[in-house]
Structure 1
Amino acid sequence: MKAEDFWLEYTDARGEVHGGPVEVMWPTRFEAAGQVRAFPSYRGQRNFSGWYWAATCSELVGYESWVELGHLMRLDAEPDVLAVASQPFRLSWRCGGRGRRIKHTPDYFVRRRDGTAVVLDVRPDKRIEPEDAVKFAATAAACTRVGWGYERVGVLDPVSVANLRWLSGYRHPRVPGTGRRRSAGGIQRATGAAGGSSGGR
Structure 2
Amino acid sequence: MSDVRGRSPAGFTLLYLGEADGRLCEQKVRLANAESVRFEHVRPVREFSSYPGQRSFPGLWWSSTMQDLVGFESWLERDRLMMLDFSPEVTAFSSQPFWLTWPEAGKVRRHAPDYFARMADGTGLVVDVRDDDDIEPGDAQAFAATGEACKSAGWAYQRVGAVDAVLAANLRWLSDYRHPRNLNPAHASALAEASAQPVALMEAARTAGDAIAVLPSAFHMLWSGRLRADLASSPLSGSTTVTSAGAGR
| TM-score, L = length of structure 1 | 0.88
C-alpha distance in structure 1 between counterparts of 2:131 and 2:63, whole Å: 23
CA contact (8 A) 2:44 2:98 kept: yes
Give the residue type in structure 2 aligned to 1:27.
S
Per-residue Cα deviation, 1:3-61 (whole angstroms, up to 9, x for no partner):
22101100026522110211123320011111111023222101111111111121111
Query: For the aligned residues, what is the CA RMSD?
Result: 2.1
CA contact (8 A) 1:6 1:93 kept: yes
- What is residue 91 of structure 1 aligned with on the other side? 100
C-alpha distance in structure 2 between counterparts of 1:106 and 1:148, whole Å: 13
Q: Alignment partner for residue 224 of structure 2, among 181, 184, 189?
A: 184
Identity %: 45
CA contact (8 A) 2:44 2:96 kept: yes
- What is residue 30 of structure 1 aligned with on the other side? 39
By relative contact order (CA 8 Å, sep 6+), the higher-ranking structure is 1
* Count of residues in Structure 1 that have an aligned counterpart in Structure 2: 193
- What is residue 121 of structure 2 aligned with on the other side? 114
> SS of 1:141's equivalent?
helix
Residue 4 (structure 1) aligned with residue 44 (structure 2): no
- What is residue 21 of structure 1 aligned with on the other side? 30
Displacement of 1:140 in angstroms is 0.4
Q: Alignment partner for residue 158 of structure 1, among 165, 176, 194?
A: 165
Give the residue type in structure 2 aligned to 1:6.
F
Displacement of 1:75 in angstroms is 1.2
Displacement of 1:170 in angstroms is 1.3
Residue 147 (structure 1) aligned with residue 154 (structure 2): yes
| TM-score, L = length of structure 2 | 0.72
C-alpha distance in structure 1 between counterparts of 2:11 and 2:38, whole Å: 22
Residue ranges of structure 1 left out of the alignment (5+ in a row) = 196-201
Displacement of 1:62 in angstroms is 0.7
Per-residue Cα deviation, 1:126-171 (whole angstroms, up to 9, x for no partner):
1001110100000000000010000000011222211111101111
Question: Structure 2 vs 1, CA of residues 6 and 185 (structure 1 numbering), >3 Å: closer, same or farther?
Answer: same
C-alpha distance in structure 2 between counterparts of 1:75 and 1:103, whole Å: 24
